[in-house]
Amino acid sequence: MPMTGIEARKTQRPYKPMPRPSHRISLDKFFVLSRDLLCVVGADSYFKQLTEAWTSVLGYSHAELRSRPWLEWVHPEDLPKTLATINELVIAGKEKVTFKNRYRCRNGTYKWLSWQATFDNAAGAIYANVCDLGERPGCTLIFHPATQKFNTPEEHLRLLVDGVKDYAIYMLDKHGRVVSWNAGAERLNGWTSDEILGNSFDVFFAPDSCKSGMPRRILQLTETSGRVEFENWRQRKDGSQFWAHVTLSALRDEQGQLLGYAVVTRDITTRKEQEEALQDAYDRLEQRVEERTAELVEANARLQEEIYIRQGTEEALRESQERLQQQASQLAKTLRELQNTQAQLIQTEKMSGLGQLVAGVAHEINNPVGFIHGNLEHLHLYVNDLVRLIQLYQQHYPNANPDISTTIDEIDLEFILTDIPKLLVSMNAGTQRIQSIVQSLRQFSRLDEAQCKEVNLHDGLDSTILLLQYRLKACGKAKTIAFEKDYGELPRVECYAGQLNQVFANTIENAIDAMREREKQFPDSDYTPRLAVRTRCLGDCVSIEILDNGIGMTEKVRSRVFDPFFTTKPVGQGTGLGLATSYQIVVNKHGGQLSCESKYREGAALTIKLPVRLKEGQHSQSLPLR
């Protein structure tokens, strides 16, 4: 019979679930105190936690056990069953599994272990309680690559299930030659052990399959994937064929070197014939259904022709109604977009005007302050010279004119000479403070810059905080807001700096408003308003967190916090555009993320995530914000 091909598939590996969030396993004390064999296996197939009993039972250190995947210590014969059981737990969702296998010790022997395991879907980890069953006869398996052989009686006893009649179980060396043969293999294939040993794996395939190189491809696939299952026609010694289900598993030594292959073959010809008979019956039934269907189609065609005219009118009316609904929906959507754009334009014009005003004021203040600050240094020198001259007069003319002495006493010359340097230092500090404020005003006035450039975000944050410094101070019943600045090391970020300054100003002002609102609604002498700004580098993006312990928000309010025109402030105190505009700037303009976490009376945490480099196309996006 012609061969229909191979339907090969790789056995599913355990531990390839969907990525899950990382959870910290906090069982350290329990694992230190326990005398049992307890362990936790992570999603990467490595031990995450082990009790001390493992070192005494197996002889390895914790570091050695954690250095390799846990399945590498399992006896090769027990590995397929172990994988299947773990798949039931991880992939099929079984609540708990129990299985036994042999685990390799440091001295090369194997011990039987009984496992009882469960899977934590949230942590992506397997928790197991293991019982040591001790060593049993036939458990020693030490491979020596230089002297390994498969055709010794000891290895036959260990690797084959002798006496199985319904399955052909045999082994191949790494070149694909038969090195072992059980009674089931002799019954299914026809060759005795003496006849088949040393023959190539190709002998079980039909001639056309051998010509196409199918046996060699199967061995290569098994070597790569570790396990392959397929169904095809197998050839017996007498030339007859049977449909078989074949499983090949690659066997490796401790160093991962290929030793050979284990093959299990089952005759499923009866099932194949049943499937074919069922398929024939299905095909005949399908043909009868098609014939009957053709008759019904012809009758339906005549009926459809009769009602086509009436349906045509109804269909035309329906299509017209759908078009009108689509147009109405599109118009409503366009109207909402126009309203949002109009609101953003209004807010943008306000901020643009403010930026121009701030820039102009900063420029006008900077000039006279610069004159004063520059002349203070000269004035300091002049005053020092005059003081030195007066001191010389007092030294060389100790007996001054009575009028001069009287005037010295009246003006308290000694105090003046002491206080003048202090006045100059204070004036110099004041001008430096004014220059710092002017610099912050100029930094903040970049609101009207439309150019994308690389900037230091800390400069924009510092300038915004400096301009809002007056709101952090105590005023009336309002307390001083404790401010914490926790800056990480950030790279220069490619962005629209002026627009981000607007975002910083909106979010920090909202945090301050929330703390002042809490002071009004819930007066508490022990309450200290706190504001924190934290920055971190997250690889190819950066994050800015603004945290407060203000009034907070309910979940209903938090879910709408970025909606245009939504505000909880009284009329005249808020437009509902600040956070909506900030969302447009961060998400649409910069391709970042803006999120808010909050609970009522527990404060809020607003997180801004920005890419270090803008994606292609975002440099020219025309968001109407300046």
Residue 181, domain CATH? 3.30.450.20
pTM of the model: 0.38
Q: Are residues 494 and 601 in the same domain?
A: yes
Bridge partners of 180, per DSSP, are 171
- State pLDDT tens for residues 185-206: 888 888 988 888 889 889 999 8
Instruction: Determine the Cα–Cα distance for residues 549 and 21; give it in Å rounded to an integer.
Output: 27
Q: Are residues 293 and 388 in the same domain?
A: yes
In this predicted structure, which of 8-12, 234-238, 380-384, 445-449 has the lowest mean pLDDT?
Answer: 8-12
Q: Are residues 490 and 401 in the same domain?
A: no
Q: Would 47 be classed as within a structural domain?
A: yes
Which residues, in sequence order, are CB contacts of 581 under 8 Å at separation 6+? Answer: 344, 347, 348, 502, 506, 625
Q: How confident is the model at residue 144 (pLDDT cuts 50, 70, 90)?
A: very low
pLDDT the model gives residue 335: 78
Q: Are residues 261 and 278 in the same domain?
A: no
Q: Are residues 616 and 509 in the same domain?
A: yes
Of residues 391 and 110, which shows the higher confidence score? 110
Q: Would 186 be classed as within a structural domain?
A: yes
pLDDT the model gives residue 576: 53
Average pLDDT over residues 132-147: 48
Looking at residue 56, its amino acid is S
DSSP-derived 3-state class of residue 601: coil
Looking at residue 448, its amino acid is D
| Closest listed residue to residue 130, CA positions, set 27, 32, 41 | 41
Which of 232, 250, 267 marks a domain boundary? 267
pLDDT the model gives residue 499: 83
Of residues 20 and 166, which shows the higher confidence score? 166
Q: Would 465 be classed as within a structural domain?
A: no
pLDDT the model gives residue 406: 83
Number of domains in the chain: 4
Average pLDDT over residues 388-399: 79
Number of H helices, E strands in the chain: 17, 18
Q: Are residues 204 and 302 in the same domain?
A: no
Given a cut of 80, is residue 378 above it in pLDDT?
no
Q: Are residues 386 and 497 in the same domain?
A: no
pLDDT the model gives residue 34: 74
Q: How confident is the model at residue 518 (pLDDT cuts 50, 70, 90)?
A: very high
In contact, 598 and 558? CB cutoff 8 Å: yes
pLDDT the model gives residue 54: 92
Looking at residue 460, its amino acid is G
Q: Would 380 be classed as within a structural domain?
A: yes
| Closest listed residue to residue 561, CA positions, set 606, 516, 625, 521 | 606
- State pLDDT tens for residues 257-268: 888 998 989 888
Helices (H), 397-496: 402-411, 413-444, 457-467, 469-472
Q: Are residues 495 and 593 in the same domain?
A: yes
- State pLDDT tens for residues 395-420: 877 777 788 778 877 877 778 878 77
Cα 626 from chain centre: 33
Bridge partners of 97, per DSSP, are 117
Share of the chain above pLDDT 90, in %: 22
Q: Would 20 be classed as within a structural domain?
A: no
| Closest listed residue to residue 176, CA positions, set 141, 145, 213 | 213
The helix-helix angle for 413-444 and 269-396 (nearest 10°) equals: 150
Average pLDDT over residues 355-376: 64
Given a cut of 70, is residue 342 above it in pLDDT?
no
- State pLDDT tens for residues 27-70: 566 777 777 889 999 888 899 989 988 998 999 998 999 998 99
In contact, 46 and 25? CB cutoff 8 Å: no
Which of 199, 233, 267 marks a domain boundary? 267
Which of 215, 247, 267 marks a domain boundary? 267
What's the domain range around 376? 272-441
Q: Cα-atom radius of gyration of the chain, to the nearest Å?
A: 42
Q: Are residues 336 and 303 in the same domain?
A: yes
In this predicted structure, which of 230-244, 362-376, 527-541, 557-571 has the lowest mean pLDDT?
Answer: 362-376
Q: Would 142 be classed as within a structural domain?
A: no
Q: What is the CATH number of the domain that holds 594?
A: 3.30.565.10
Q: Are residues 253 and 280 in the same domain?
A: no
Q: Are residues 263 and 277 in the same domain?
A: no
Which residues, in sequence order, are CB contacts of 584 under 8 Å at separation 6+? Answer: 344, 623, 625
- State pLDDT tens for residues 543-576: 999 999 999 999 988 888 888 767 776 655 555 5
Q: Would 460 be classed as within a structural domain?
A: no
Number of other CB atoms surrounding residue 589 within 10 Å: 21
- b/e map of 478-488 (b: 16 or more CB within 10 Å)? bbebeeeeeee
Q: Would 60 be classed as within a structural domain?
A: yes
In this predicted structure, which of 323-337, 352-366, 401-415, 488-502 has the lowest mean pLDDT?
Answer: 352-366
Q: Are residues 283 and 307 in the same domain?
A: yes
Locate the DSSP E strands across 61-154: 96-104, 110-120, 125-134
